[in-house]
Amino acid sequence: MAQRSNPIRNGGRARTRPAVLARIVAALVLALGLCRGATAEGQGLQLHRTPLGPAPQSGEDVPAFVIADRIEGVAGVEVEAVGNAELHRGATTLFADRIRYVSEFDEAEAVGHVRIRLGEDELTGPRLRLRVTDNAGVIDEPTYAIVPREHGITGRAAAPTGARGSAKAARFDGRDSLRVTDGTFTTCKPGQDDWYISAGELDLDLDREVGTARQARLTFLGMTTPALPALDFPLNNRRKSGFLAPTFAMSNSRGWEVVAPYYWNIAPNYDATIAPRYMRRRGLQLLTQFRYLLPTSVGEARMEILPDDKATNESRWGVSLRDTSVFPGGWSSNINYSRVSDDQYFRDLSGRLAVATQLFLPQEGSVSYGGGWWSSTLRLQRYQTLQDPLNPVTTPYARLPQLTLTALRSTRAGFDVGAGAEVVAFDHSTLVQGERSTVYPYLAWPLMKSYGFVRPKIGVSATYYNLRNADPLTPTSQSRVLPIASVDSGLYFERDVQWFNRDFLQTLEPRAYYLRVPYRDQSQIPLFDTAIADLSYAQLFSENYYVGGDRISDANQLTIAAVSRLLRPASGEEAVRAFVGQRYYFADQRVGLNSSTPTRTANTAPIIGGLSGQIAPHWRAEAAAQYSWSGAEFDRFNIGARYSPQFAKVVTAAYRYARQTTAQPEIRQIDVAAQWPLWRGLYGLARVNYDFFGRQLVESLAGIEYNADCWIVRAVVQSFVSSSEKRTYQFFVQLELNGLARIGTDPLEALRRNIPGYMPTNAPSTTTSTDVFPGRGETTGPFGQY
């Protein structure tokens, strides 16, 4: 054999030049499509196109081949590779000082500096026994590393380095299963063992993506828990039955509390969560949630019960059901039902602002049909009103029932023929009741071109009322018939521009809308569901000054408006939008909400304008204003900006103003929020929402988030006004061990709602948000999340 001289580094081992030359020759042979075996026939070693084991049959995996400094034995019987030995078979590669393969048993034994790659996973150790065809084996004293699968190695936030550990021994079966004896598991990077699980047995089922540890202990920063008989944890975001990490919280209304949820994965399309919740000042509460996903339906049912509230000495409860179904033939249904035991239920027991401050709980169900050119909906709807004693509100009317119909067809002559109809019965315990029937047929002629459009429209709205429990002076039967005519028109212009050295397509879209509706006296008609519509850009082009069907305003008016947008030429994505518009009146408005409502006499409506979008690199802005020429003052305006130069680095500031009216007090609020790195993985979190008119903090939040790569700790304190006489304080402390669990109270929902653009520091950096104003996008239902 050649002498080892002039070593070349290869994985920490020396390799001689003759050995390197032999490898080059072998590589050239492989490049010519020759498979190499070895025999001790004739004069010496010869290369053959022969695999280590028997030739594969049709449908079997590819054979295994070996590379080494020296290869001895007989192909098909026994082969021994010595010195920088490598065995390759499909996605599996084995490295060792010595590899011995016995064909009869299809087994390979590797000794010395063993390293095996199973796809992208890797195990290293001093000795390994491998069944080559099955790709299964046992390795002594290994260290292992598992890379994230398609959805990440973790349950909720993927660890970028995957998982790793060491053991006394490990048994593997391809890439699907790894059983570790006297081993450890962590998602921390090599050299950083801040946390790890040590277990007598550790099963990692990579097919089901579930880990099971027996006689397990969790060590975090040198502190070790007592041994647990068994511990299950997900290796991905797939669901698995078992106890979830408990959550802890503290608030001024509930004291300290702990929730110990149990998750039941009933079936792939059914699951349930049962969560006992103990509150120091309230007692023991049971929270339950059931979810289902069917071919035609998706829904969720919740029930909460507090048998004996220690603060009120009452039994308190809440229920919720939401279901959305879509059936063949154009049919669909929807159920949204919520009810609680008392008005203070959410204010006392919820820690979410949007839940604690809600006033109306919907209780409705509907069935709809869509038949192509027409559709119809039958709805039953009422509300539970949660009264604030110092700020009572009127309970909305119930609709028992409501039937709506819409239809629209285009004729060959280019006309649109449509109609809208409604029959609804309004019910209320203390106010006038009755039925309202409305039909509104119309004819439109849309003339569309690439450079603009004109759409004249004419229709007749006919409404009939049958009233009960009305004032003696109010007729019980009333009707209203009104013709409505309008002409909508617009033009499209565009040009190429540059903004901050970037190419954009700028549009200019002027629009004119004329509306004519004659006056009809409607002062005797009760108000079931009608109010003045908020003035907005879209409302400038509506046919009615009011929302609801009890008032149709008289009109002889013209709206002039324009929109300009900056579009990215490659994608058509809108970067910036600006708009301005105003309504001009040619006659006074005479229809009011009631006899005491003054009619409008000004010849112009307030002018409205706004700007939103990415106005500069890293900067987003949003502004809207409504200015009254007659009063020479702003009726309202909002302005906000967000600066985000990097991931998890954002500052927002906003100001809101609304002039005092008979319907609402004056609003003057400033809102500042931020997520900003302070020092080496430490991030500051804050929000302040201050009301200058009320001279109080409406909502505030302060906290920190520390990211140590494989674990994160978040500590947050939040305060908000939940009613006119009550302020709620709550505290969040959460420890997240990447790939294992989140322990403590989850503040992420509160952080996302309070800090626009907030990102968990272990989340994918591609996730984006365009919000400028805090408090948007909270739509998790009336009961929130457990």
Amino acid 148: pLDDT: 66
Q: b/e for 571-590, b at 16 or more Cβ within 10 A?
A: eeeebbbebbbbbebeeebe
Residue 759 corresponds to which tokens in the numbers above? 């990102």
Residue 222 corresponds to which tokens in the numbers above? 């040198």
695: left (phi over 0), alpha (psi -120 to 50) or beta: left
Average pLDDT over residues 123-148: 89
- From 317-321, 343-347, 432-436, the region with the lowest mean pLDDT: 343-347
Q: Bridge-partner residues for 221, per DSSP?
A: none
What are the pLDDT digits (tens) for 328-354?
999 999 999 999 999 989 888 886 656
Average pLDDT over residues 11-18: 37
Amino acid 6: pLDDT: 28
Report the residue count for the chain.
Answer: 786
Give the highest mean pLDDT range of 64-78, 89-103, 287-301, 655-669: 287-301
What are the pLDDT digits (tens) for 632-656?
889 899 999 999 999 999 999 999 9
Average pLDDT over residues 650-667: 86
Is residue 586 within 8 Å of residue 613, measured between CB atoms? no
Write down the residue that tokens 């409404």 correspond to.
463
pTM score above 0.85:
no
Q: In the 3-class helix/strand/coil scheme, how is 312-327 assigned residue by residue?
A: CCCCEEEEEEEEEEEC
What DSSP string runs through 706-743?
A: EE-SSEEEEEEEEEEEEETTEEEEEEEEEEEETTTEEE
Amino acid 547: pLDDT: 93
Write down the residue that tokens 């929109």 correspond to.
563
Q: Report the first-to-last Cα separation within the chain, whole angstroms.
A: 71
Amino acid 351: pLDDT: 66
- Give CA–CA dist 439/233, Å, rounded: 59
- From 34-38, 176-180, 561-565, 604-608, the region with the lowest mean pLDDT: 34-38
Average pLDDT over residues 487-513: 94
Which band of pLDDT confidence, cut at 50, 70 and 90, is reported for residue 238? low
What are the pLDDT digits (tens) for 522-564?
999 999 999 988 888 999 999 999 999 999 999 999 999 999 9
Return the sign of the alpha-carbon dihedral for residues 567, 573, 577, 579.
positive
Amino acid 400: pLDDT: 93
- Give CA–CA dist 734/163, Å, rounded: 22
Which band of pLDDT confidence, cut at 50, 70 and 90, is reported for residue 594? confident
- From 33-47, 478-492, 537-551, 668-682, the region with the lowest mean pLDDT: 33-47
Question: Is pLDDT at 302 greater than 60 in this prediction?
Answer: yes
**Mean of the per-residue pLDDT values for the chain?**
84
Question: Is pLDDT at 285 greater than 50 in this prediction?
Answer: yes
Amino acid 19: pLDDT: 40
If we measure between CA atoms, which residue out of 586, 581, 599 comes closest to residue 542? 581
CA dihedral 752, 756, 757, 759 (to 10 degrees): -20
If we measure between CA atoms, which residue out of 301, 235, 240, 288 comes closest to residue 265? 240
- From 99-113, 314-328, 492-506, 597-611, the region with the lowest mean pLDDT: 597-611
Is residue 659 within 8 Å of residue 761, measured between CB atoms? no
Average pLDDT over residues 300-326: 95
Question: Is pLDDT at 576 greater than 80 in this prediction?
Answer: yes
Amino acid 527: pLDDT: 93
Average pLDDT over residues 169-173: 89
- What is the three-class DSSP state of 765? coil
Percent of the chain residues topping a pLDDT of 70? 85
Amino acid 39: pLDDT: 30
Which band of pLDDT confidence, cut at 50, 70 and 90, is reported for residue 781? low
Give the highest mean pLDDT range of 93-97, 436-440, 593-597, 753-757: 436-440
Which band of pLDDT confidence, cut at 50, 70 and 90, is reported for residue 595? low
Question: Is pLDDT at 483 greater than 70 in this prediction?
Answer: yes
Tell me how crowded residue 282 is: count the other CB atoms within 10 A of its CB.
Answer: 21
Please list, in sequence order, all residues whose beta carbon lies within 8 angstroms of the beta carbon of residue 503, skipping any fewer than 6 positions away.
496, 497, 569
Amino acid 176: pLDDT: 74
Higher pLDDT, 234 or 384: 384
Residue 151 corresponds to which tokens in the numbers above? 């959805």
If we measure between CA atoms, which residue out of 457, 502, 524, 508 comes closest to residue 484? 457
Average pLDDT over residues 751-761: 91
